[in-house]
Amino acid sequence: MADPCRRRSGRCAYTRGRPPRPAEPARATGPVPLPGLLGWSLPTAVVIPAIKVNAAVAHVRDGADGPAPAPAGEGVAGWRVPGPAPGEPGVAVLVGNRHDPAGPPSGPGVFARLAELRVGAVVGVVRADGTVAVFRVASARQVPKAAFTAARSPAEGERPELRLITCAGRYDEARGAYADDLIVYATFAAAYTLADLVGA
């Protein structure tokens, strides 16, 4: 049997008569995901690092004549209600302007760079209960505003999903509106406590 002490190096692999000390288990580093899915809680902010979005979230209620418009202002997105909260099972919808409502010359809106998002980009939604629902972009598509699609609307479901919607396509000066919508689809990745993320 080979001698565990390597004589040529002059050093021994372990002290005779004592077993080697077991390796310590690896310690978790960084934020620890919360188990399971989240319940209902008001969204208060949306953060999209890839396009430098860090915006407050207001509530916009759809009416009988159609979806509510996105809230005005560069730093505010809208959560469409009634519907699931981001992080709980179902499809939650956040809307934001590409430009301020007065028109493109007035400056960029909160989702001005939404078209730059790529698959895998992270979207975090901060909630009033102190949790953060984290999603990853899965796909995107541009659709005419005149063609209704269920993807624009909140919906029930088994898994948490998120839709980010802004204007796209040609800008009609006469109507003061864009012809299309850009819809970004994102799937749930994990949930964390806000304190854990801030302290990481």
State how far the Cα of 192 lies from the Cα of 174, in Å rounded to an integer: 46
Report which residue type is found at 84. Answer: P
User: What tens-digit pLDDT sequence spans the chain (200 residues)?
Assistant: 555 445 444 554 444 556 666 665 555 578 899 998 899 999 999 999 999 999 999 999 877 666 777 887 668 999 999 899 999 999 999 999 988 665 555 678 899 999 999 999 999 999 999 999 999 999 999 999 877 667 778 888 899 999 999 999 888 777 777 889 999 999 999 999 999 888 65
State how far the Cα of 70 lies from the Cα of 132, in Å rounded to an integer: 22
- Residue 17: the pLDDT is 58
Query: Can you list the domains of the chain with their CATH numbers?
Result: 5-199 (2.40.260.10)
pTM: 0.80
Quick one: tokens of 75? 């730093």
